């Protein structure tokens, strides 16, 4: 009986340590752990006849392509609240960041926006 109680306590202790690591999640304030996000106006996200520039699709970042100013504001707010490292490109996305008082790096086109997200 004592051995089984000891085993249960050991398993519970291991679970507490594992949960502590899961909740800590490297919360040392490093920007490396922050998700990267890009909000780029739909007109700038195009590549010729393609609706989405392949570089954007393959970038490995959270991407939103708003069609209008209202969608841009919603996307910018979402990423700001999630704590993402945010880059915006295009008039609607930039205006949205300014309107909701969000700190975001502003770029003029898809290429410079992607370059801003490269670490």
Give pLDDT tens digits for 64-119.
Answer: 999 999 999 999 999 999 999 999 999 999 999 999 999 999 999 888 988 888 75
Burial string for 6-43 (b: 16+ CB within 10 Å, else e) reads: eeeeeeeeeeeeeeeeeeeeeeeeeeeeeebbbbbbbe
CA 69 vs CA 19, 64, 80, 81: distances in Å: 41, 13, 16, 18
Write the pLDDT tens digit of every residue in 47-68.
766 677 777 777 778 889 999 9
Q: Which fold has domain 34-117?
A: Rossmann fold (3.40.50)
Write the pLDDT tens digit of every residue in 17-58.
444 444 444 444 454 578 899 999 998 888 766 677 777 777
The band of 6, judged by pLDDT with boundaries at 50, 70 and 90, is: low
Is the pLDDT reported for residue 9 higher than 90?
no
Is the pLDDT reported for residue 14 higher than 50?
no
Q: What is the pTM of this model?
A: 0.68
Question: Largest alpha-carbon pair distance within the chain?
Answer: 73
Helix 91-99 with 69-82: angle, nearest 10 deg: 60
Q: Are 75 and 97 in contact (CB under 8 A)?
A: no
Domain boundaries, the chain: 1-32, 34-117
Q: Write down the pLDDT at residue 55.
A: 77
């Amino acid at each position: 009986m004592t051995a089984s109680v000891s085993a249960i306590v050991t398993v519970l202790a291991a679970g507490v340590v594992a949960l502590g690591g899961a909740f800590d999640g490297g919360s040392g304030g490093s920007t490396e752990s922050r998700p990267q996000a890009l909000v780029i106006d739909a007109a700038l996200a195009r590549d010729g006849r393609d609706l989405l520039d392949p570089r954007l699709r393959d970038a490995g970042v959270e991407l939103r392509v708003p069609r209008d100013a209202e969608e841009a504001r919603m996307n910018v707010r979402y990423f700001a609240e999630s704590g993402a490292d945010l880059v915006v490109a295009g008039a609607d996305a930039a205006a949205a960041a300014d309107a909701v008082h969000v700190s975001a790096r502003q770029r003029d086109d898809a290429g410079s926006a992607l370059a801003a997200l490269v670490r």
